[in-house]
Amino acid sequence: MFKNIHFPFIKIISVFMIFLFVFVWQINKEIIVNIDGESQIISTNQIFAKSLIEDVANEHDLEEFSIPDQPIFLTDYSNIEINTPKKVKINIEDQVYDIETYSNTIETLTHEFNNYLQEEGNKNQVIFEGYKQDDQINDQQTLKATLVQTKLETKTKTEALEPKYIDNDDIYVGEEVLIYEGSDKKTVNTYEKIYKNNKIYSSKIINSEIVDQGERPVIYVGTKEKVINNLDTWNQIANCESSSNWSANTGNGYYGGLQISKATWDSYAPSVGISTDYPYQASKDEQILVAEQIQKNQGWSSWGSCSPI
């Protein structure tokens, strides 16, 4: 019994609410209408923005104009934008883009043009120089813009590691022997680079990843002392050859206290870890160490009349 009474009552209320809704919306409303940035207040009884826009467009003889994608209900002092198409030239360096846009301000044009310029892998945007975001766009206007591109680039950095030194008593003091070359540490850096009109403007590392820790080289360091044998004999030879002048460089083709030629020095000096170019540049002890190697291979005859034999 109660269901039969309740249902007609709800139906009557629903119809009444619909009637009230339509009545309220049919009452004239004051609407703020902006046509390409120029505002005016219009009194209308239209319910939806689309209908109002079409009325205004007919009144102003607008052949093309923007219409909202979604229905918009009108209330007192609703703000409605009506934009007409404008032909605009956008100058980026030497390239000119001719576009037709419904954008009304620099801000909205910026968003529209940025979408147009999107490239895969790059984040492009334009900056309109000398304008504010709320500046109006005019038909046949030429705008100067800067293209800003953000690109991600990777680069591998190699870094030589400090050697590991190990003492070795089979090698003379002052000598070093590389026994393991090792490998470089490798780091992949990701750079965020910003270009303005295709010219680099800034660059910064936003991520670093070590892809290879690398290995330290291993070097043997000599600890074996160099012992000079027969020091008195070598002093005697030096006295005979150069009057004991261990820095002798007279231009005769022989050098130092023991008068060793350049060619002979180059053949034997490296074997005892001496790297000077000429004998006279080496110390007395170093000259004698090289002379000992010469004597072992060639005998005392290398010193002719100054030989102890």
> What gap in Å lies between CA 144 and CA 129, rounded to an integer?
6
Residue 76's domain spans which residues? 27-84
Q: Is residue 3 part of a domain?
A: no
CB atoms within 10 A of CB 61: 6
pLDDT tens-digit series, residues 77-119? 777 777 778 899 988 887 888 888 888 888 988 888 888 777 6
What's the pTM? 0.49
293 and 248 in a common domain: yes
pLDDT tens-digit series, residues 33-43? 877 777 788 88
Q: Is residue 100 part of a domain?
A: yes
pLDDT of residue 209: 96
Question: What burial class does residue 268 get, using C-beta atoms within 10 Å of its C-beta: 0-12 exposed, 13-18 middle, 19+ buried?
Answer: buried
Q: Flag the least confident range among 20-24, 115-119, 185-189, 302-306.
A: 20-24
pLDDT of residue 208: 96
Q: Is residue 15 part of a domain?
A: no
Residue 3 clears pLDDT 50, i.e. is over it: no
pLDDT of residue 81: 78
Give me the chain's average pLDDT, please: 85
278 and 244 in a common domain: yes
140 and 203 in a common domain: no
Tokens at residue 215, please? Answer: 């290995």
In 3D space, the residue among 60, 98, 100, 97 whose CA is nearest the CA of residue 82 turns out to be: 60
161 and 202 in a common domain: yes
Q: How confident is the model at residue 2 (pLDDT cuts 50, 70, 90)?
A: very low
80 and 37 in a common domain: yes
Number of structural domains (the chain) is: 4
Q: Is residue 126 part of a domain?
A: yes
> What gap in Å lies between CA 150 and CA 7, rounded to an integer?
65
Q: Which of 192, 222, 252 is the last residue of a domain?
A: 222
236 and 292 in a common domain: yes
93 and 54 in a common domain: no
> What gap in Å lies between CA 277 and CA 281, rounded to an integer?
7
Q: Which of 222, 256, 283 is the last residue of a domain?
A: 222
Q: Which residue has the higher pLDDT, 65 or 269?
A: 269
Residue 267 clears pLDDT 80, i.e. is over it: yes
165 and 134 in a common domain: no
Report the CATH number at residue 63: 3.10.20
Overall average pLDDT of the 19-32 stretch: 64
Partner residues linked to 153 by β-bridges: 191
Structural contact between residues 80 and 35, judged by C-beta atoms closer than 8 angstroms: no
pLDDT of residue 123: 66
232 and 180 in a common domain: no
Report the CATH number at residue 101: 3.10.20.90
Q: Which of 84, 101, 130 is the last residue of a domain?
A: 84
Q: Is residue 51 part of a domain?
A: yes
Structural contact between residues 170 and 224, judged by C-beta atoms closer than 8 angstroms: yes
Q: Flag the least confident range among 106-120, 134-148, 149-163, 188-202.
A: 106-120
